[in-house]
Structure 1
Amino acid sequence: MAFRDLIDDVDDTVFDVLGDRALIEGREVQGMFSAPWLQPKLGRMTTALREPHLVIRVKDNTGVETRQQVELPLAPEDGGGTYTITSIEPGGDGLVTLVLRKSA
């Protein structure tokens, strides 16, 4: 069995057990959602920018484009809601990061 096949099996298990369910334009995928707080400094002023993102597998990225809607059926305190994809960033490791912006 090739290395990539082994990693794909590991990813299947990890995403199934630890992943978050997401709907991208109504299509269900498993991903890892995160909404970290970034606080870049502009001079002495600290900003509070939030850059939520969803990490999915390359095989789930087919047909995914910027400006599509992502729905995360999580509690609001965990960042659940509807988002718009603002950029797609392949990691070169079989994973793709979808950078999100909260929809109104």
Structure 2
Amino acid sequence: MAFRDLIDDVDDTVFDVLGDRALIEGRKVHGMFSAPWLQPKLGRITTALREPHLVIRVGDNAGVETRQKVVIDLPAEDGGGTYTIASIEPGGDGLVALVLRKTA
């Protein structure tokens, strides 16, 4: 079995068990959502602000384009809600980061 096949098996398990559920234009995907404004504070200084993002697998990226709607299925306190894809950043490692912007 090739290394890439082994990693695909690991990714299947990780994303299915630990992934956050999201809808991209109504299509269900599992990814790893991060909202940097929810990161821990260090003393009185908050950590650097960045855009929220959803990391998905390359196979789930087919048909994904900027300006599409993404709904993160988490409580609002954890960053859940509706976002718009601002940019798509392939990582070269089988994963793609969707940089998001919160919609009103």
How high is the TM-score relative to the length of structure 1? 0.87
Give CA-to-partner distance per residue, 1:12-55, whole Å, 9 cap, x none: 00001110000000000000000113xxxxxxxxxx74410000
| 2:67 pairs with 1:86 | no
Identity level (%): 86
Q: Which ranges of 4 or more aligned residues in structure 1 deviate by more than 6 Å?
A: none
For 1:1-104, list aligned pairs within 5 A: 1-37=1-37, 49-104=49-104
Which SS does the other structure have where 2:63 is aligned? Answer: coil
RMSD: 1.4
Q: TM-score, normalised by structure 2?
A: 0.87
Cα distance in 1 for partners of 2:50, 2:82 equals 15
Gaps of 5+ in 1: 38-47
Unaligned runs of 5+ in 2: 38-47
Aligned length: 95
